[in-house]
Structure 1
Amino acid sequence: MTLGRSLGATLALAFGATMLAVFALVGTYVYTGLDRQVRTQDDLDIVLAARHTRRLAGELDSLDAVRAHADRLTSQVLGNTALSMAVVDERGNVLARHNVGRTEREDLPPAASGTASPAPPALPDAELFPPHATPVPAAERITVDRIATWRADGGTSVRGVLAGAMLRDGTQIRIAIARDMSDRAELLDGYRNKLKLAGGLGALCAMLLSYWLIRTALAPLREIVANTGRITVDKLDARLDAARAPRELRALVDAQNAMLGRLQQAFGHLSQFSADLAHDLRTPLNNMRGATEVALARPRSPGEYQALLESNLEEYDRLARMIENVLFLARAEHPTFVTRQRAFDVHDELTRIAEYFEGLADEAGSTLRVEGHGQLTADVELFRRAVGNLLANALRYTPAGGVIALSVDETADAVRVVVENPGEPIDPALLPRIFDRFVRGDPARSGGVPGGTAGLGLAIVRSVMELHGGTARVESDAAGTRFILIFVRNAAS
């Protein structure tokens, strides 16, 4: 299966990418929230320690008192190995400290606690606070906004505050409290890496799971494709089982079954059309061949040969008409077929058609009558052909002395043309197929009258009406047979 062309793989990749983006957004939100929370807590510890130390220093009388009470001053940061603290005088001499590495300066006194082992170093003295830092004035409240961030010489991130304090004797001292952020950076880096790993694995699992779900969901569609592939020309009666398809695919299955039904019907019509066409072509050819063989069986007079040629010419004409009708039907079904439409008076056209068939009507002992009035926009040649086929059909099935009526009436929406003739009614079983190709009426109704269009005349009528966006229908009962053409206004293109 090619990933670039697989619907399941494409959807799975899209879903995986979406989940990765969602995990990234959620992870970023959680990570920044944790970073903000940790930083806020650390800043609060720094501020509280600075305030507490300033308050205690304000209760002392002198620098000596500060040295003597160093443990008390550093009590706020005792136990917090991450915080470093130093109290220095204006000359930079350390008065008290916690977690501050010793330097080689001789003026730095030992730790006020008097213990033999010094406090574990956290920050060197030079890195406890940058030299360019401006302390918070003794009279100003220490807030989080005054906390600064800088980089130590080793690249370690440090946050802290430098605040001034005043002893009772008016002496100014400075309090420096800082926190080495390396452990926080390590914590956040580990948390970030875990979020990345969890997000990547989650997106991968989501992609694989979605691919499996999509493949499972598409299984009925693959079954439909497989079942459709097993349907061949000789199995067009097979249908897909809509009951087994999911509800979302039932419309597809129904449409597929409907298409199979249309294909079956089309193949059936094509097979029947081929058989009927072969039969109708074979009949005149056999007639000509039989007559020619008889004529060649012995010498004939010129008159007999002339009669043979005339008989063959009639068969040629019959073949030519049949081929012309078949070609017209084929062209009419093509979507590029163009009609040349114009407005005309229907009564006048019906009169012209009746005059054209007047000689045949006289020979058949029938009378033609034109009734009604109406205006129509259509292809005049196709109109004449359709009505002419109906009139020829009526003459063939009308008994001697009968009256064939050609009438027209119009409404605001349509124009209706009716060709009505008396005679035996059409077999009701034949009515639904009367406009199909090569369908012929009962020869008994025509009284054995030869001729016709080899069962294509009414098929041509239907094609003409479809080209104009109209319909053709038939009614037949004991009173007679009526072929009705309905031209819908503004329907034809």
Structure 2
Amino acid sequence: MTLGRSLGATLALAFGATTLAVFALVGTYVYSGLERQVSAQDDLDIVLAARHTRRLAGELDSLDAVRAHADRLTSQVLGNAALSLAVADAQGNVLARHNVERTELEDPPDASSPALPVRPALPDAELFPPHATPVPANDRITVDRIATWTADGGTPVRGIVAEAALRDHTLIRIALARNMSDRAALLDGYRDKLKIAGGLGALFAMLLSYWLIRSALAPLREIVANTGRITVDKLDTRLDASRAPRELTALVDAQNAMLGRLQQAFGHLSQFSADLAHDLRTPLNNMRGATEVALARPRSADEYQALLESNLEEYDRLARMIENVLFLARAEHPGFVTRQRAFDVHDELERIAGYFEGLADEAGSTLRVDGHGRLTADLELFRRAVSNLLANALRYTPAGGVIALRVDEMADAVCVVVSNPGEPIDPALVPRIFDRFVRGDPARSGGVPGGTAGLGLAIVRSVMELHGGTARVESDAGGTRFILTFIKTPTA
């Protein structure tokens, strides 16, 4: 058996993936912000140091003065070990430099500060890269003039080269560069921490959400358990909607409604089985009793012939009952197909009345057909429904009564009415008149010859349901009227 995915696990994984995605977006945003902030601060340090160095150089008289005051110029980068400074003349001769070299880890200022990584000194050639365009002496040094390059050994560098004019109008070049290795190490470490924190946070969120989801689904598991305890003999059991969350109330109500329908259907099935067994037993008992009496002593040929004729009548009764039960079973099947066609209702009612004319004469009744109309329906089922109503009317119409078959055509429906005089139907029986095995005569063992064992009106209702119509009855002192309403199908 293939097991479906766990709802709790699926939701937990989805929540964990969502949390991880959110952490990734937030971490990327924070990392990018930190990177921009660090880069902006480093660029500002480079620009300020270059401006101050150019200003100090502009106060010197000559190249000799630059050499003499080299310490004053390089003081602009003191305190920032990542910065390197070089001052050169037009021919590239270095006049002053500050290029810190670390060959081993320095001792941190205190125990809580990390040791600084090894950072080799930048060669003079790397401070004046060929691709770097110097800022002219009369141009302002700005951040957008900073260049980025990679020194020998893969060391990332950001820096600027600017020209400065001495008092004797000699031009010198000032190179300021920052070794970005420590920044790269800082950002890499920060990125790794964000990844670890995001992964652990997503894992924690997934586990926590799984626990919360399982707790939230506890009422659903209780509903499943309670539903599993409902058996055929406990169809009257209902689930407690008051203990279910608001989101599951509709589910509980739907299950209770389903249980109600099942209980009703099972009750109808049980009653139908009991009624069918009772009605099948009656003709069988009649045949058995008559046969036992006949076999009690020798009989004449005429007596045996009368016994066979009586048994044949009971066989016919059983055959009609079985045929009607099979029809009802087929009519309730979703695949039952009707063969509909258009016909004149008045002509069909005339044919049905002609078929029952002999029985009506024997009963002392008269048949009358009124009205006109056309209908699209299954002709055989239509005849069967009207015939059942007409046979029912013949059984309960007193001698001399007139049974009327009338058709009324309206804009959206066609009504067929079968009415007869006689005693009105008991009002308590009217709501159940179309149920199976319900008779006007409460005596279950009797019945009018030629009856349908209480299935005739049930067949009428099934026929109308197959056509999307309705069957209803009206009964009062003026007589009884069975009304079949066929809804017209719109034509294309």
Give the TM-score normalised by the residue count of structure 2. 0.91
**Whole-angstrom CA distance in 2 between matches of 1:130 and 1:139:** 20
Aligned residues: 474
Cα shift readout 1:229-253 (whole Å, capped 9, x = no counterpart): 1111001111112222222222211
Asked if structure 2 preserves the Cα contact closer than 8 Å seen for 1:398 and 1:423, the reply is yes
**1:309, distance to aligned residue in structure 2 (A):** 1.1
**1:74, distance to aligned residue in structure 2 (A):** 2.2
Residue 121 to residue 476, structure 1, CA distance change in 2 (3 Å): closer
Instruction: Tell me the equivalent position of 1:15.
Output: 15
Output the amino acid matched with 1:300. Answer: R
Asked if structure 1 preserves the Cα contact closer than 8 Å seen for 2:441 and 2:447, the reply is no
Asked if structure 1 preserves the Cα contact closer than 8 Å seen for 2:447 and 2:453, the reply is no
Residue 399 to residue 468, structure 1, CA distance change in 2 (3 Å): same
**1:259, distance to aligned residue in structure 2 (A):** 0.8
Report the 3-state secondary structure (helix = DSSP H, G, I; strand = E; otherwise coil) of the residue aligned with 2:390. helix
Residue 66 to residue 345, structure 1, CA distance change in 2 (3 Å): same
**Whole-angstrom CA distance in 2 between matches of 1:470 and 1:155:** 89
**1:218, distance to aligned residue in structure 2 (A):** 1.9
Output the amino acid matched with 2:25. Answer: L
Report the 3-state secondary structure (helix = DSSP H, G, I; strand = E; otherwise coil) of the residue aligned with 1:300. coil
Report the 3-state secondary structure (helix = DSSP H, G, I; strand = E; otherwise coil) of the residue aligned with 2:437. coil
In the TM superposition, 1:265-344 aligns within 5 A as 265-344=264-343
**1:53, distance to aligned residue in structure 2 (A):** 0.8
Asked if structure 1 preserves the Cα contact closer than 8 Å seen for 2:164 and 2:173, the reply is yes
**1:254, distance to aligned residue in structure 2 (A):** 1.4
Asked if structure 2 preserves the Cα contact closer than 8 Å seen for 1:82 and 1:180, the reply is yes
Residue 491 to residue 458, structure 1, CA distance change in 2 (3 Å): farther
Residue 136 to residue 398, structure 1, CA distance change in 2 (3 Å): same
Asked if structure 2 preserves the Cα contact closer than 8 Å seen for 1:82 and 1:122, the reply is no
Report the 3-state secondary structure (helix = DSSP H, G, I; strand = E; otherwise coil) of the residue aligned with 2:75. coil
Instruction: Tell me the equivalent position of 2:243.
Output: 244
In the TM superposition, 1:365-404 aligns within 5 A as 365-404=364-403
Instruction: Tell me the equivalent position of 2:111.
Output: none
Output the amino acid matched with 1:93. Answer: N
**Whole-angstrom CA distance in 2 between matches of 1:158 and 1:373:** 104
Cα shift readout 1:119-173 (whole Å, capped 9, x = no counterpart): x986243465254243333333322233222223333212111222221223232
Residue 491 to residue 456, structure 1, CA distance change in 2 (3 Å): farther
**Whole-angstrom CA distance in 2 between matches of 1:129 and 1:207:** 52
2:38 matches 1:70: no
Structure 1 spans left out of the alignment, 5+ residues: 103-119
Instruction: Tell me the equivalent position of 1:112.
Output: none
**1:448, distance to aligned residue in structure 2 (A):** 6.3
Instruction: Tell me the equivalent position of 2:96.
Output: 96
Output the amino acid matched with 2:145. Answer: R
**Whole-angstrom CA distance in 1 between matches of 2:129 and 2:224:** 79
Asked if structure 1 preserves the Cα contact closer than 8 Å seen for 2:122 and 2:151, the reply is no
Report the 3-state secondary structure (helix = DSSP H, G, I; strand = E; otherwise coil) of the residue aligned with 2:326. helix
Instruction: Tell me the equivalent position of 1:85.
Output: 85
Which range moved further: 376-385 or 67-76? 67-76
Asked if structure 2 preserves the Cα contact closer than 8 Å seen for 1:9 and 1:211, the reply is yes
Cα shift readout 1:278-333 (whole Å, capped 9, x = no counterpart): 11111111111221222222222211111111111111111111111111111111
**Whole-angstrom CA distance in 1 between matches of 2:162 and 2:301:** 142
Instruction: Tell me the equivalent position of 1:125.
Output: 123
In the TM superposition, 1:414-453 aligns within 5 A as 414-442=413-441, 449-453=448-452
**Whole-angstrom CA distance in 1 between matches of 2:6 and 2:265:** 34
Cα shift readout 1:331-368 (whole Å, capped 9, x = no counterpart): 11111111111112211211111111111111111121
**Percentage of identical aligned residues:** 86
Asked if structure 2 preserves the Cα contact closer than 8 Å seen for 1:470 and 1:491, the reply is no
Asked if structure 2 preserves the Cα contact closer than 8 Å seen for 1:137 and 1:163, the reply is yes
Residue 382 to residue 491, structure 1, CA distance change in 2 (3 Å): farther
Output the amino acid matched with 2:123. Answer: D
Output the amino acid matched with 2:253. Answer: D
Report the 3-state secondary structure (helix = DSSP H, G, I; strand = E; otherwise coil) of the residue aligned with 2:252. helix
Structure 2 spans left out of the alignment, 5+ residues: 103-117
Residue 5 to residue 323, structure 1, CA distance change in 2 (3 Å): same
**Whole-angstrom CA distance in 2 between matches of 1:328 and 1:491:** 28
Report the 3-state secondary structure (helix = DSSP H, G, I; strand = E; otherwise coil) of the residue aligned with 1:74. helix
Report the 3-state secondary structure (helix = DSSP H, G, I; strand = E; otherwise coil) of the residue aligned with 2:250. helix
Instruction: Tell me the equivalent position of 1:6.
Output: 6
Cα shift readout 1:436-455 (whole Å, capped 9, x = no counterpart): 111111258xx963331011
Instruction: Tell me the equivalent position of 1:214.
Output: 213
Instruction: Tell me the equivalent position of 2:256.
Output: 257
| Aligned CA-pair RMSD | 2.3
Give the TM-score normalised by the residue count of structure 1. 0.91
Instruction: Tell me the equivalent position of 1:111.
Output: none
